[in-house]
Amino acid sequence: MTPVFAARAVQTALAALGRSHRQVLEVGCGRGDTLRLVADLLPGTELTGIDPSHAAIAAARELLGHDSRISLYRHAAEDLLDAAVADRVSEADLVLVHLTVGLWPDVVGGLHACVGRLSPGGLCYVLDLLRPNTEHAAAAYLAPALTGDEIRYVRDQMAAWYSTDEVEWLAESVCGNHVEVRHRIGFSSFAEVAAGVTDVSSLAICEPTTAVRHTETDNVFQLFFERS
């Protein structure tokens, strides 16, 4: 995620939360770049990052270890369901999940666990990529690939992304486990996300019969899980 794109995503999440934030959790924090951005934006907030990769957490500790507000642990999203992990990872006012769900072995279970760590009034914000639905749309992702192995790698990555229908199913599946949680869905383009903060109030609270607007140029989805 580029710095501008990451900044817009974090600003969107904070605007959607719309209240004070003492604890922020990033699930799939990688090397810690987004956590560093959040730390700079929110100087009075306690931050936690989890990632299942030893190497990623080691790199994040190298980058962020000087900041006593930040705690880093090697855990996958679904580990948050474990009581021992939950004792270590505090309930969060804001949970961030950026460009990682396609790598999770159990996305519904993982997001169920993330939503379960929300404090009352908290928000889980998910930003990820939509699977291209035409070869023309896929061409933009394939263009930098120079070899057969690189092309196969990119196609494997795209295959793990979600379609618009799958995103709607995913959100309904997660909320089915949490009667106290409602959700909103936004589909947009990279350019729209990078150009400005998404106005979450313009997105309808989803019900099973809600039709979510999307266009052929959309390549990003945003999920907002709001706990009452």
Closest listed residue to residue 180, CA positions, set 134, 210, 225: 225
pLDDT in tens, 120-170: 999 999 999 999 988 888 998 899 998 999 999 999 999 999 999 999 999
Residues 148 and 209 in one domain: no
| pLDDT reported for residue 152 | 94
Residues 33 and 142 in one domain: no
How many folded domains does the chain comprise?
A: 2
Whole-model pTM? 0.93
Write the CATH number for 194. Answer: 3.40.50.150
| Distance (Å, whole) CA 56 – CA 186 | 29
Residues 178 and 148 in one domain: no
- The β-bridge relationship of strands 118-129 and 23-27 is unpaired
198 pLDDT band (50/70/90 cuts)? Answer: confident
Bridge partners, 125 (sequence order): 96, 224
209 pLDDT band (50/70/90 cuts)? Answer: low
| pLDDT reported for residue 200 | 81
211 pLDDT band (50/70/90 cuts)? Answer: low
Give residue 138's domain range: 132-161
178 pLDDT band (50/70/90 cuts)? Answer: confident
Residues 153 and 77 in one domain: no
Q: Which of 70-74, 114-118, 197-201 has the lowest mean pLDDT?
A: 197-201
Residues 73 and 121 in one domain: yes
Residues 151 and 221 in one domain: no
Instruction: Calculate what percentage of the chain has a pLDDT beyond 70.
Output: 96
Residue 85, pLDDT above cutoff 90: yes
Q: Helical H runs in the chain?
A: 3-17, 33-41, 54-64, 83-88, 107-116, 135-142, 148-160, 164-175, 190-195
Residue 132, φ and ψ in degrees, nearest 5? -60, 135
Residues 186 and 104 in one domain: yes
Residues 89 and 145 in one domain: no
Residues 136 and 72 in one domain: no
| pLDDT reported for residue 29 | 96
- Answer with the one of 144, 161, 178 that is the final residue of a domain: 161
Residues 183 and 151 in one domain: no
Residues 147 and 168 in one domain: no
Residues 157 and 55 in one domain: no
| pLDDT reported for residue 205 | 83
Residue 100 contacts residue 68 (beta carbons within 8 Å): no
| pLDDT reported for residue 215 | 80
The distance of Cα 92 from the centroid of its chain, to the nearest Å, equals 14
